[in-house]
Homo-oligomer: A and B are copies of this chain.
Amino acid sequence: MARTPPTKPRKNALQARSRATVDALVEATARILVRDGFEKASTNRIAEIAGVSVGSLYQYFPSKEALVAAVIDRHNEEIMGIVRTALAEVADLPIDKAVRKLVTIAIEAHRIDPKLHRVLAEQIPRTGQLKDVEAFNREVHDLVRTYLESRRKEMRKIDLDVATFICVSSIEAVAHNTVLNGPEMLSEKMVRTLVDETTRMVVGYLR
């Protein structure tokens, strides 16, 4: 048999299979969380649904918590992606346009897999994940603060950190509660009204 080239020797095969296994496990965890809730999500069950053995599960995730954390990370990354993109797009817009976009985006972000979002928000005991949640909040805060800083001339004199804190908290809460209150509040018309009103409040506050 011919020689195998020196490059790319020892991790291909390993990755092809194990990557798939890891993905299947995370996906299975998410599905069980949505379908049966946190309490019913045992490692045995997760492995079963993923079509993987418990033993293999524990080769890639040291604990059940790690598995759930992976699901949370994936979800958070999705949301952060949206938020980052939105804030980049908004960088050159005046405050009123920017806030409107951000409010819209906030609701949209919460609408990604709302069932999973609900389970993560309501059923997952935040044990150890505190760091992650904090980092998440921190990044959002910093991004928004940076934007506001660049638009300071449109604003009244105001402590930037306080303003950011209040605006982010409020927008997030409206988006969160809107989505959690079920599909009733998610009619096109309702969403538009909420975006209008929240934007009005925040913009009015900032300047």
A residues apposed to B, CB below 8 Å: 37-39, 122-127, 130, 158-159, 162-163, 165-166, 169-170, 172-174, 176-177, 193-194, 197-198, 200-202, 204-205
Q: Are B193 and A201 in contact (CB under 8 A)?
A: no
Interface of A (DSSP majority class): helix
Question: Which residue from B126, B173, B204 sits with its C-beta under 8 Å from A205?
Answer: B204
Question: Which residue from B125, B126, B163, B174 sits with its C-beta under 8 Å from A166?
Answer: B174
Question: Which residue from B39, B125, B163, B177 sits with its C-beta under 8 Å from A122?
Answer: B125
- Given A37-B127, A39-B125, A127-B37, the answer on whether A201 and B170 have CB atoms closer than 8 Å is yes
Q: Are B123 and A123 in contact (CB under 8 A)?
A: no
- Given A123-B125, A126-B123, A170-B169, the answer on whether A159 and B193 have CB atoms closer than 8 Å is yes
Question: Which residue from B124, B127, B166 sits with its C-beta under 8 Å from A197?
Answer: B166
- Given A169-B177, A173-B169, A200-B205, the answer on whether A194 and B126 have CB atoms closer than 8 Å is no
Q: How many angstroms between the C-alpha atoms of A177 and B38 in the bound complex?
A: 25
Chain B residues lying within 8 Å of A37, measured Cβ to Cβ, are 125, 127
